[in-house]
């Protein structure tokens, strides 16, 4: 299947694996790229630029196909060494960077000079247009369904994607609620050039996370995610657990007096405990409503091949019959 996204990134299938904290390691990124999609290493999961350089080198031993690195610009207690991470990306010969969070203008000049393609994650049309105007090559349009940070506008993909198609000139992928061939075909019909999957890729054999995480995703339904940090205008969609429910009680009790300090036990430093050690109630971790569509834990190749087979069947058989 050829789209503007496959042409832009030099990949076989229009499927991108989004950057995910303590999930986007070399093993998963390489598996996605080997399956014909675009794998993404999560830059800030690596504690230092040198660690990122090592992870990039590791990924290159696992695949000779294109893969990317995610750089997220969000409010943090300690400012990451962004120039160092960019240097590791440049020296590692990475061809694609996925940026997320705040405006990525600070890192664009060196990336563009090196010929690296930049795709920026956006939760609104105005942000997508801004990304286009500053020189991003593509955007990931994230609907309200997505895991992680869905923005503050609460616009689902059935509205957001066609609006993006109306406004944007650069290619874009649909993110949020993407799980299978139906997701891909629907996204293409609404104007996207591919899909970005996060949560669905966690529930694969190659995802280097604890089995408890994968089992939690299998057990969950579309009713089991929660929105946290809304009062701080840093909304995040997470899977419900004891820590999340405790956090929501704090938000309710403290109201306008809530500060980030009040919820640090539930949000700070929890990802290694959850993803690596399998402590499912250790804190809040990003998860999309798409858990309601996840039924198994296949290999990455099995998943990607199945998505493409389903998409082709819908287009060539179901749609063709309707037109017949």
Looking at the fold, whether 190 and 226 belong to one and the same domain comes out as no
User: What's the pLDDT at 78?
Assistant: 81
- Half-sphere exposure of residue 53: CA atoms within 13 angstroms, side-chain side: 12
Looking at the fold, whether 239 and 183 belong to one and the same domain comes out as no
User: What's the pLDDT at 138?
Assistant: 98
Q: Provide the CATH number for the domain around residue 193.
A: 3.20.20.70
Residue 76 maps to a domain: yes
| Domain boundary pick from 208, 226, 243 | 208
Give the whole-angstrom CA distance, residue 99 versus residue 114: 16
Looking at the fold, whether 112 and 15 belong to one and the same domain comes out as yes
Tokens 């799980």, located at residue: 179
Residue 111 maps to a domain: yes
User: What's the pLDDT at 282?
Assistant: 97
| Band (226; pLDDT cuts 50, 70, 90) | very high
Which whole number is the average pLDDT over 5-21?
A: 97
Looking at the fold, whether 165 and 225 belong to one and the same domain comes out as no
**pLDDT over 80 (residue 24):** yes
Looking at the fold, whether 218 and 201 belong to one and the same domain comes out as no
pLDDT tens, residue by residue, 61-86: 999 999 999 999 976 768 899 999 99
**Long-range contact pairs involving 140-143 (C-beta distance under 8 Å, separation at least 24):** 140/16, 140/18, 140/98, 140/172, 140/173, 140/174, 140/175, 140/196, 141/172, 141/173, 141/174, 141/175, 141/192, 142/175, 142/176, 142/196, 143/174, 143/175, 143/176, 143/177
User: What's the pLDDT at 49?
Assistant: 98
Looking at the fold, whether 77 and 170 belong to one and the same domain comes out as yes
Please count the structural domains in the chain. Answer: 2
| Band (137; pLDDT cuts 50, 70, 90) | very high
Q: Helices (H), strands (E): how many in the chain?
A: 15, 10
Give the whole-angstrom CA distance, residue 219 versus residue 85: 36
Which whole number is the average pLDDT over 119-130?
A: 98
Predicted model pTM: 0.96
Give me the chain's average pLDDT, please: 97
Range of the domain at 43: 4-208
Q: What would the DSSP string read from start to end of 99-119?
A: EEES--GGGHHHHHHTT-EEE
């Amino acid at each position: 299947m050829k789209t503007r996204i496959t042409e832009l990134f030099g990949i076989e299938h229009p499927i991108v694996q989004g950057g995910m904290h303590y999930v986007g390691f070399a093993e998963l990124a390489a598996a996605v790229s080997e399956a014909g999609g675009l794998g993404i290493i999560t830059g800030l999961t690596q504690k230092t630029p040198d660690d990122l350089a090592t992870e990039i080198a590791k990924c290159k031993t696992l695949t000779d196909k294109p893969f990317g690195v995610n750089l997220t610009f969000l409010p943090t207690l300690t400012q990451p060494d962004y120039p160092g991470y960019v240097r590791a990306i440049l020296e590692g010969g990475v061809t694609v960077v996925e940026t997320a969070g705040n405006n990525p203008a600070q890192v664009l000049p060196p990336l563009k000079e090196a010929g690296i393609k930049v795709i920026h994650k956006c939760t609104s049309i105005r942000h997508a247009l801004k990304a286009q105007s500053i020189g991003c090559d593509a955007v990931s349009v994230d609907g309200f369904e997505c895991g992680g940070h869905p923005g503050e506008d609460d616009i689902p993909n059935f509205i957001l994607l066609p609006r993006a198609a109306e406004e944007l000139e650069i290619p874009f992928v649909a993110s949020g609620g993407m799980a299978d061939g139906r997701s891909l075909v629907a996204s293409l019909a609404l104007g996207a050039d591919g899909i970005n999957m996060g949560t669905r890729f966690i529930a694969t054999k190659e995802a280097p996370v604890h089995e408890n995480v994968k089992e939690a995703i299998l057990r969950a339904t579309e009713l089991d995610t929660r929105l946290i940090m809304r009062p701080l205008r840093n909304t995040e969609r997470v899977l419900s657990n004891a820590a999340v429910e405790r956090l929501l009680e704090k938000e309710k009790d403290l109201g306008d007096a809530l500060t980030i300090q009040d919820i640090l036990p539930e949000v700070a430093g929890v990802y290694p405990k959850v993803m690596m050690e399998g402590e499912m109630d250790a804190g809040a971790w990003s998860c999309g409503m798409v858990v309601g569509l996840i039924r198994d834990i296949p290999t990455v190749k099995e998943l990607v091949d199945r998505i493409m087979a389903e998409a082709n069947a819908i287009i060539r058989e179901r749609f063709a019959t309707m037109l017949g």
